[in-house]
Structure 1
Amino acid sequence: MTILAALEQATEAIEAPYFLLPIAGRDLPIKRERVYCYELFHQLRLALRDSQLTLTGEPDKRGHPDFPPINPDFILHTPGGHEENTAVVEVECRVGLEHLIKDFRNLKTMRDRGYGTLVLLLFANSNVPWPKLAQAAREADIGLGEIAVLLHRAPGLAATREHPPAPTAA
C-alpha cells in the first residue's frame, strides 16, 4: 500500500474527538495538531501493518550526522540506512505562512536526503490556501508540484488529494 493510500484509509478512521478536541468550559472544540497526529499515527500503523517499512513519528534528527536538527511529523523508511527513505509527511491545521514555510523547509530537507514522497496533510480546513502554499514553496525553495497536498475536511471522511487551480487565460 502506498503512503497516499494509507493516509486516505487512516484519515477516514479518525473520529471527531481526535479531529477537534472538546474542551471543558468551552462551547466549541479546538484544533490540536498533536492530538490529531497521535491518532493519525495509530491509524497509519494499522493501515501499514503489512509494510516492511517503519513509520516513525516526529523523529528527532538532532545529532544525526546526515540531517540538520529538524523533526518532521512522520517518516516512512527503513531505519539505519538511506536506501529506503520512502516518504515524509508534514501535518498542519494552522495555515499561516510561517507554519507552511517551516513545513516546506522540512520537506525540502528530507527530499534532499532521498525521501521520494513528500506530503503536506492539512486538516480541519475547508479548502487549500493555494496562494499561501505557493508563496511558502517559493520561500522554502521547493516546487509546489513536488508535494502531494492532502485535505482532511472532517472526521469520518478520507483526506483527498488536492491540486492547484488551473491558471486562467488572460
Structure 2
Amino acid sequence: MANDPRSAFIQALKCASSCIEKSYFHPLVASLPEDPPLQMWRERVYCYELYHQLRMILPQETKNGVMLFGEMDKKSHPLIHHGTIPDFLYHRPGKSGYRNNVAIIEVKSIQRMREHLAICRSIETLQDTQHQLHYQISLLYIFGDQDADTEKWIRDKIIQEQKGNAPFHVLWHQHVGKPAVWVCQCSCHANGAYDCMSPSER
C-alpha cells in the first residue's frame, strides 16, 4: 500500500468493494408466498460485509496505531457535540487531531440517494464530524445502480442537497465484482458556490 494513509485506505476500500458478493450487494428479501423473492438494497447488510472485507485487507493496526472501526457510540464523548457518527472511522483510538484521524465514511444505497432527508443527514454527518474531529478525508460511499446516467445524477443530487463547506469525496460501487470508483470531490468556494468535480475536471 502507499505511504500516504489516505491513499492506502482508499485503495483498500476499492479492493474490499470488489470482493462483495451479490448476496450482500443486492440481497433477496422474502415476499408473499405466491410471489417470488424481492431484491432490495440493504445498507446494514452491505456495511457489515464491507467492514469484514476491509478488515481482511487492512492491517489490524498500523505502525502508528490506526485502526478501522464500525459506527461507534459517541455518547458522552467530550469532543463531539452532535448525535450522529459516520458508518466507518479509520483512526488512532484514544487520540484526536488531524494526524491521528485518517478517514470517515458514510454509506448510502442508490435507492436512499433519492430521499432528501437521507442524503442531507449523510452530508451533515460527514461535515459535522470533519469540523469537530478534523479527519484527513471524508467519503460519501454509494452502492447500487439505476438505468439513468447515474454518475451525473449522483453529482447533481449532491449539489442540490449540499449544506456546509467541509470538502468530501464521493465513491460509487456500481457492479458486483468490480471496485468502487471515484465520482467526484465536493467543495464549497469562498463565494458560497458549490462544486462536485470529477477526476477528468481536476
Q: Normalising to structure 1: TM-score of the pair? A: 0.88
**Structure 1 pair 23–15 and aligned structure 2 pair: CA distance change class (3 A):** same
Match in the other structure for 1:82: 96
Larger relative contact order (CA 8 Å, sep ≥ 6): 1
2:93 and 2:144 mapped to 1: Cα distance?
31
Match in the other structure for 1:107: 126
Q: Which has the larger radius of gyration?
A: 2
Match in the other structure for 2:107: 91
Residue 145 of structure 2 is aligned to residue 125 of structure 1:
yes
Q: Normalising to structure 2: TM-score of the pair? A: 0.75
2:54 and 2:164 mapped to 1: Cα distance?
29
Pairing of 1:13-24 with structure 2 (within 5 A):
13-24=19-30
- CA shift, 1:51, in A, is 4.6
2:77 and 2:95 mapped to 1: Cα distance?
12
SS of aligned partner of 2:29: coil
Spell out, residue by residue over 1:53-110, the C-alpha distance to the aligned partner (whole angstroms, 9 max, x if none): 1111011112111112212100000111114011000000110221111111111112
Residue 63 of structure 2 is aligned to residue 63 of structure 1:
no
Q: Say if 2:60 and 2:67, in contact at 8 Å, map to a contact too.
A: no
Match in the other structure for 2:164: 141
1:97 and 1:108 mapped to 2: Cα distance?
17
Match in the other structure for 1:73: 87
4+ runs deviating over 4 angstroms: none
SS of aligned partner of 1:62: coil
**Which ranges in structure 1 are unaligned for 5 or more consecutive residues?**
none
Spell out, residue by residue over 1:89-146, the C-alpha distance to the aligned partner (whole angstroms, 9 max, x if none): 0000110221111111111112111101100110013423222201222xx3135xx2
SS of aligned partner of 1:86: strand
Q: Say if 1:22 and 1:28, in contact at 8 Å, map to a contact too.
A: yes
Q: Say if 1:104 and 1:142, in contact at 8 Å, map to a contact too.
A: no
Higher strand share: 2
**Please, which of 33, 50, 53 is the counterpart of residue 43 of structure 1?**
53
- CA shift, 1:150, in A, is 0.5
Q: Give the AA of the match of 1:115.
A: Y
Q: Say if 1:108 and 1:142, in contact at 8 Å, map to a contact too.
A: yes
Q: How many residues align?
A: 162
Calculate the aligned-residue CA RMSD, in Å: 1.7
SS of aligned partner of 2:157: helix
1:69 and 1:18 mapped to 2: Cα distance?
28
SS of aligned partner of 2:39: coil
